[in-house]
Amino acid sequence: MLEIAFVKPALPKAGALLLPLTEGAALSGLGAEVDAATGGAITRALQAAAFKGRKGQSVTIWAPLPGLSKLVVLGLGKAEELDPDKAEQSGGAIWPAAASEESALLAAEGMSAEVAARLASGALLRSWRFDRYRTQEKPEDKPKLAKLSVAVADPAAAKAAFAPLKAVAEGVFLARELVAEPPNILYPAEMAERCRVLEKLGVAVEILGPREMRKLGFGALLGVAQGSAHEPRMVVMRWPGRSGAAKGGAGKGRRGKGEAGLERPLCFIGKGVTFDTGGISIKPAAGMEEMKWDMAGAAAVVGLMAALAGRKARVDAVGLIGLVENMPSGTAQRPGDVVKTASGQTVEVINTDAEGRLVLADVIHYAITRFDPKWMVDLATLTGAIIIALGHEHAGLFSNDDKLAAAIEAAGRATGETCWRMPLGEAYDKQLKSDIADMKNVGGRPAGSITAAQFLQRFVQGRPWAHLDIAGTAWASKDQALAAKGATGFGVRLLDRVVAGEEAAA
């Protein structure tokens, strides 16, 4: 992980010097120093390049001074619009500008500690890379930068502002790593085991297998799992950050509280299909390898729990993930099967490829009956149809609670993990009517993402709930502001922000 160090301003003797500059701003601090030392070469270069300081604009000046390999001026946009959230987005550009250097200094001495910390957070988020399975990469193709120094007026204040951002970034990286892992390595039991890293942060981690799930009546989840040689798992991750255990870690809740000392926790529920072949309703071969990331909802929940525990969020939160592999085989469920969910409701499985909702139905029911959540959010790469509706720009947001939905939309705008609210309604729900059971698992082609959400809503018992369909946002096919192409970790920063709002209100 890229190390971030906050230091007092001083001109570096080697590597890259990065100068963030807002629109129309004059060079100051270290930038002005280099400009003076070079007889105004930086000012001339910015003029020649017509640099205006617009967001995304950058100018590179090679070897401006002996020893210094390059100076990069990065546009931050209009000063009056540069809030901490925008700074974080802009900070992403620091990484590609500096990655090939042995050392780099970001000149943020003119900025507040908060803005400097957010610039650094943007750089850190953008720096993540998954190279575990590359054995033959040439050294010159690898990023070299291991540490980014950030020059600020008050290093201690910036360091303090950065600490929670670092914890959140670690959660994002955990989510990305789980998503990036190949499906032969990351099957349900393996993903469940990896959740144990959260124990170090004070999260209580419980892993349930098929025997426990049979007792709980998880007929829908088990139906999906039955075609695979890999056993399913459910992981329950409890963070008691409000009910008095934030210092002592998990399991030390005060008496008089509900389940395990938690009081009406926030519940986060993730779809964890470690590979989705479609089952007997098998998917076409082209692009099927992408279905390794059908566990991105679950990965986001794990990453979120790491973020919340890592920054000691003052809330009670529970993460619950349902882990299965959806395979075709002689033991696989068939189209036409009727399964009984933990809630008692029965489902006619018309299409075995609509498996995520079956998994979530049982986990949602479990979350409600065990934890009595204040509200709950599920994340799932649930439908291809959400990509048709919203592309890769927004996650689909479905909710029965306007306040929760508004909080998620606002957090999306702030973090850049944007969500677009979609409708729910009885007319859509009717599409799920079955001739033999309480419902079908598919509602036909029209409004495929909405009928999937309607299916989930049948299991939430009227509780405040939101569903995020992240099929279009969990994975990026091109580089983004805060993530190289590949796993994005979508949902971790978004829901961390929603939780922060909850903490502020408490």
Q: Which residues contact 140 (CB under 8 A, 6 or more apart)?
A: none
Query: Residues 166, 176, 357, 458: which is the catalytic one?
Result: 357
What residue is closest to Mn ion based on CB?
353
Is 357 assigned a catalytic role? yes
97 makes contact with ligand BES (CB under 6 A): no
Q: Which is nearer to ligand BES, 232 or 356 (CB)?
A: 356
What residue is closest to Zn ion based on CB?
276
473 makes contact with ligand BES (CB under 6 A): no
Given the rule CB under 6 A, which of 96-104, 307-315, 354-362, 431-439 is the region that contacts ligand BES? 354-362
User: Helix or strand or coil: residue 63?
Assistant: strand
Q: Which residues contact 254 (CB under 8 A, 6 or more apart)?
A: 243, 244, 261
351 makes contact with ligand BES (CB under 6 A): yes
Number of residues in contact with ligand BES, rule: CB under 6 A? 15
Site for Zn ion in 338-367 (CB under 5 A): 356
Q: Which residues contact 293 (CB under 8 A, 6 or more apart)?
A: 179, 381, 474, 475, 487
Contact criterion met (CB below 8 Å) for 106 and 150: yes
Tokens representing 411 are 């957090």
Q: How far lies 476's CA from each of 75, 168, 473, 480, 492, in Å?
A: 24, 20, 7, 8, 16
Contact criterion met (CB below 8 Å) for 385 and 409: no
Is 211 assigned a catalytic role? no
Which strand (E) or helix (H) includes residue 468?
strand 465-469
Site for ligand BES in 284-323 (CB under 6 A): 294
Q: Which is nearer to Mn ion, 37 or 288 (CB)?
A: 288
Given the rule CB under 5 A, which of 252-260, 272-280, 310-318, 447-455 is the region that contacts Mn ion? 272-280
Which entry of ligand BES, Zn ion, Mn ion, none binds 384, CB below 5 to 8 A by partner kind?
A: ligand BES
Site for Mn ion in 313-372 (CB under 5 A): 353, 355
Q: Which is nearer to ligand BES, 382 or 411 (CB)?
A: 382
Number of residues in contact with Mn ion, rule: CB under 5 A? 3
Query: Residues 283, 314, 340, 463: which is the catalytic one?
Result: 283
Q: Any alpha helices (H) in 81-182, and if so which ranges?
A: 84-91, 94-98, 113-127, 155-180
- DSSP bridge pairs for 397: 421, 468
333 makes contact with ligand BES (CB under 6 A): no
Contact criterion met (CB below 8 Å) for 333 and 302: no
383 makes contact with ligand BES (CB under 6 A): yes
What CA dihedral angle connects 59, 62, 64 and 68, to 10 degrees? 110
Using the Cα atoms of residue 36, residue 39, residue 42 and residue 44 in order, give the sign of their dihedral. Answer: positive
- Out of 2, 269, 354, 447, the residue judged to bind ligand BES by CB under 6 A: 354
- Give the closest residue to 428 by CA, choosing from 420, 416, 440, 419: 440
- Out of 101, 177, 276, 469, the residue judged to bind Zn ion by CB under 5 A: 276
469 makes contact with Mn ion (CB under 5 A): no
502 makes contact with ligand BES (CB under 6 A): no
CA separation for the pair 473, 391 (Å, rounded) = 8
Given the rule CB under 5 A, which of 33-41, 169-177, 276-284, 455-463 is the region that contacts Mn ion? 276-284
486 makes contact with ligand BES (CB under 6 A): no
276 makes contact with Mn ion (CB under 5 A): yes
Q: Which is nearer to ligand BES, 325 or 355 (CB)?
A: 355
Pairing of strands 68-75, 58-65: antiparallel
φ/ψ of 58, rounded to 5, equals -155, 150
Return residues touching Mn ion (CB under 5 A): 276, 353, 355
Return residues touching ligand BES (CB under 6 A): 276, 294, 351, 353-356, 381-385, 442, 448, 471
Return residues touching Zn ion (CB under 5 A): 273, 276, 294, 356
Active site (catalytic) residues: 283, 357
